[in-house]
Amino acid sequence: MSTGAWVLLGVAALVAVGDWMAVHLERKPLEYVCKPLTMVVLIGLALSLDVDSTSVRAWFVAALVLSMLGDIFLMLPRDLFVAGLASFLVAHLAFIVGLWVDGVATGRLAIGVAFAVVAVAIVGLRIIRAVRAGEQPELALPVIAYMTAISTMVASAIGTGEALAIAGAALFFCSDALIAWERFVRSQPWHRLAIIVTYHAAQAGLTLSLIS
């Protein structure tokens, strides 16, 4: 990476830590600044990287922008969960296209699909049952659609064989699963911090996979 890219990565890390502190200490004004700013810096990092495919980068940048919009929807005081869900669903679709443009091998994809199926069986089905039994059963279909998208992204990342993409997608799955678990199954005090840490690590991994 260039010096500028390393600087942007360092700035992204510092701003992300600021957001983690804001979440942990429940400092909303700081979160309103640091959460979207982390994504802005990661977008800058993606644009600064020397990549083999500008098409892959374009899809990833689109995904990062959509993720930033999702972040904004989910952190606001109003309940904009559906809007955030939609933004991240489209972001995952953009990541999926980028991963396939990068190249997905059939054998590795089969392994990825098997992994995603197991993850959904262990975690996803419990979440879907909780949604259907909860106060907003109408969200079951959107949650299923979203779960399909994130699972497809994980399988596609494994299909590329690129370690950073795989780690990023897997961490994204973990972060999203924690969000759903907190909202629909059972909330724990440590959930919000774990969600944001795994989320930022996921976005950083996917961004850095552009140079693989």
- pLDDT of 73-90, one tens digit each? 988 877 788 888 899 999
What is the per-residue pLDDT for 9? 95
Average pLDDT over residues 89-115: 95
Task: Determine contact, residues 183/21, Cβ cutoff 8 Å.
Answer: no
Angle, CA 22 vertex, CA 49 and CA 201 arms, to 5°: 35
Round to whole Å and give the CA distance between 61 and 95: 9
pLDDT tens digit string along 24-80?
A: 998 999 999 999 999 999 999 999 999 988 999 999 999 999 999 999 998 887 778
Task: Determine contact, residues 66/87, Cβ cutoff 8 Å.
Answer: yes
What is the per-residue pLDDT for 135? 83
Angle, CA 22 vertex, CA 90 and CA 173 arms, to 5°: 35
If we measure between CA atoms, which residue out of 180, 146, 164, 152 comes closest to residue 45? 164
What is the per-residue pLDDT for 65? 97
What is the per-residue pLDDT for 136? 84
What is the per-residue pLDDT for 82? 84
pLDDT tens digit string along 123-171?
A: 989 999 999 988 888 889 988 999 999 999 999 999 999 999 999 999 9
What is the per-residue pLDDT for 212? 63
